[in-house]
């Protein structure tokens, strides 16, 4: 029996799976409007909307080895969430599988990256976000979603993080970034110069063998993905993000989608998130088959 809250086509056992879905229903660090804790199940539900066959790659997702581990248990503090997520994700990376993680607010991403084993091939991070998320601490919390790129940088190093789509930042974040040196391409630069140039620049900067993509859904314009905690105009298009995923797929180590808040959704944002997760799987499989 397939439960309706399982990700579509996730029929493989954990042992056989190449891709493992994990939900993290945590939104305690949201700063404007909450609800991202309901993201994982909304994305799963919308995954059933799509054909399993992918027109562009010819891959049928019903033949892909996907396992849905369900949602991580409920949490108290952000520190609890961090510990739990590391424990859940560590064995997935260690087994050479690709975690696909649904949040949850963006505080849920750093512990995924932190779970990446030191012995595994080198890891870079493509950080897709309207916001810089570069505060050392926010409202006294170093695990706030406003600090997530900073925590990721502390794990993988400044040279191994590139932020794409940023258009909202504090003066302090820009000043800090000048000294710490995390690369970014703004949404305005992407609109001006095209997504191809931005992705080429980002992938050239990331010298690592593998790439983890973290997608804060607010990287995408609120016209397409308005169901999120802190919507920010002048964003990327869904096609921009689709292109980023396709280009990074040959090196994909893991993927997450955070900050989908379905209580503001007519369905578009959850559908887009589910479709992008499926895109990451088919593009990753297509790249493996081409090898």
Name the residues that contact Mn ion, by CB under 5 A: 106, 129-131, 133, 216, 218
Q: Which of 28/67 has CB closer to Mn ion?
A: 28
Beta strands in 147-199 (DSSP E): 161-166, 183-186
* Contact of 254 with 100, CB cutoff 8 Å: yes
For the chain, how far is it from start to end, CA to CA, in angstroms?
35
Q: Which of 45/144 has CB closer to Mn ion?
A: 144
Find the helix or strand (DSSP H, E) in which 123 lies: strand 123-128
| Neighbouring C-beta atoms of residue 80, cutoff 10 Å | 14
Residues recorded for the chain: 291
Q: Which of 54/173 has CB closer to Mn ion?
A: 173
Beta carbon of residue 96, minimum distance to Mn ion (angstroms, whole number): 28
Beta carbon of residue 284, minimum distance to Mn ion (angstroms, whole number): 23
DSSP code of residue 115: T
Q: Which of 60/176 has CB closer to Mn ion?
A: 176
Q: Which of 8/236 has CB closer to Mn ion?
A: 236
Q: Which of 133/221 has CB closer to Mn ion?
A: 133
Beta carbon of residue 220, minimum distance to Mn ion (angstroms, whole number): 10
DSSP code of residue 104: S
In the block, tokens 């706030």 appear at 144
Beta carbon of residue 6, minimum distance to Mn ion (angstroms, whole number): 27
Residue from 224, 204, 219 nearest 265 by CA: 224
Q: Whole-angstrom Cα distance, residue 231 to residue 225?
A: 8
Beta carbon of residue 58, minimum distance to Mn ion (angstroms, whole number): 34
Q: Which of 172/209 has CB closer to Mn ion?
A: 172
Beta carbon of residue 239, minimum distance to Mn ion (angstroms, whole number): 19
Beta carbon of residue 266, minimum distance to Mn ion (angstroms, whole number): 21
State the DSSP string of 46-100.
HHTTS-SB-TTT--BGGGS-EEEEEEPPP-SSHHHHHHHHHHHHHHHHHTT-EEE
Q: Which of 11/25 has CB closer to Mn ion?
A: 25
* Contact of 206 with 124, CB cutoff 8 Å: yes
Residue from 241, 222, 227, 232 nearest 279 by CA: 241
Beta carbon of residue 218, minimum distance to Mn ion (angstroms, whole number): 4
State phi, psi for 282 to the nearest 5 degrees. -65, -40
Find the helix or strand (DSSP H, E) in which 102 lies: strand 98-103
């Amino acid at each position: 029996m397939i439960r309706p809250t399982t990700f579509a086509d996730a029929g493989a056992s954990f042992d056989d799976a190449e891709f493992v879905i994990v939900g993290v229903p945590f939104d305690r660090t949201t700063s404007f409007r909450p609800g991202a804790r309901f993201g994982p199940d909304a994305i799963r539900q919308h995954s059933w909307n799509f054909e399993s066959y992918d027109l562009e790659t010819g891959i049928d997702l019903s033949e892909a080895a996907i396992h849905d581990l369900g949602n991580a248990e409920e949490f108290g503090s952000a520190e609890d969430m961090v510990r739990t997520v590391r424990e859940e994700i560590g064995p997935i990376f260690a087994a050479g599988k690709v975690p696909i993680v649904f949040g949850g607010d963006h505080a849920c991403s750093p512990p995924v990256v932190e779970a990446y084993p030191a012995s595994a091939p080198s890891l870079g991070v493509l950080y897709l976000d309207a916001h810089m998320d570069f505060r050392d601490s926010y409202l006294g919390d170093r695990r706030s979603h406003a600090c997530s790129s900073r925590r990721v940088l502390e794990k993988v190093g400044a040279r191994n993080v590139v932020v794409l789509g940023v258009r909202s930042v504090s003066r302090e974040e820009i000043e800090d970034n000048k000294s710490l040196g995390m690369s970014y391409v703004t949404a305005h630069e992407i609109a001006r110069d095209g997504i191809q140039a931005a992705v080429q620049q980002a992938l050239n900067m990331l010298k690592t063998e593998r790439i983890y993509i973290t997608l804060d859904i607010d990287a995408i314009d609120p016209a397409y993905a308005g169901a999120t905690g802190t919507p920010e105009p002048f964003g990327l298009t869904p096609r921009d993000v689709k292109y980023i995923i396709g280009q990074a797929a040959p090196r994909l180590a893991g993927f997450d989608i955070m900050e989908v808040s379905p209580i503001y959704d007519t369905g578009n944002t959850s559908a887009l998130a589910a479709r992008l997760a499926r895109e990451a799987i088919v593009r990753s499989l297509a790249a493996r088959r081409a090898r």
